[in-house]
Amino acid sequence: MTLETAYRLLYIGTLLVLAALIGIMLVRSIIGPRVTDRILAINMIGTMVIASIAVLSQYLMEGYLLDVGLIYAMISFVSVLILASVYIPAHPMRGPFGKEAFRENEMRTEPKTGKKGKARRKRR
């Protein structure tokens, strides 16, 4: 049992286990009744894929594959963000994300007077 075969066995075993976990998660993502379950499945599968890309970069002794992993992490983050903006409507009665966040953390991005202020006043 040389060092090379030991490393190779370890890495391939890790990749196999991660692949099995990804397959298991797909089952639940099909069953799960809520939309949140499915987006969560995509997120977790993405994390496991990042782990397996990192293991692969060590297995093949190529250092640049970690860049791919970083891009994948960013893509999964952006996807959850944009899906959230599709599914969360902003209720003007209680603020977009909690009443306090709307009143106190005004970032001055939407001016109170102007088109949006007029729209808000028109609604009330």
Partner 1 sequence: MKNGWQKFLDGEFDVMDFFPEPAEEPDLSREAVKEIRKEENRRIDEDPRTRKVVAFERRSFRIIYYFVAVVSCVVFIGVMLYGVSFLPRYGQENAWAAEVSRRYIEKGLEETGALNIVAGMILDYRAFDTLGESHVLFTALVLVMVLLRRDKKNQQSEVEDYYTIRNDAYFRTAGDLILSKTGTFLVPCILVYGLYVLLNGQLSPGGGFSGGAVMGAAMIIFAASSGFDRVDRFFSLKLSSWVTFAALGFYSFAKGYVFFTGANGIHNGIPKGTPGAILSGGLILPLDVAVGVVVACTMFGFYSLFRRGRIGGSGK
Partner 2 sequence: MIGWIRFGLTAVFLIAGLVFFAGGAAGYIRFGYSLNRIHAGGLGDTAGLFFVLLALAFSAGELMDILKLGLLLLFMWSTSPTSSHFLSQIEYYTNTRLYDHVEREESKEDENGSC
Three-state secondary-structure class, residue 107: coil
Residue type, 76: S
Q: What are φ and ψ of residue 110, in 5° steps?
A: -105, 115
Q: Which is nearer to partner 1, 24 or 85 (CB)?
A: 85
Q: Which residues contact 116 (CB under 8 A, 6 or more apart)?
A: 110
111 binds partner 2 (CB under 8 A): no
Contacted by 3, from partner 1, partner 2, none: CB < 5 to 8 Å by type: partner 2
Residues that bind partner 1 (CB under 8 A): 64, 67-68, 70-71, 74-75, 77-78, 81-82, 84-86, 88-90, 92, 95-97, 101-102, 105, 107, 109-110, 115-116, 119, 122
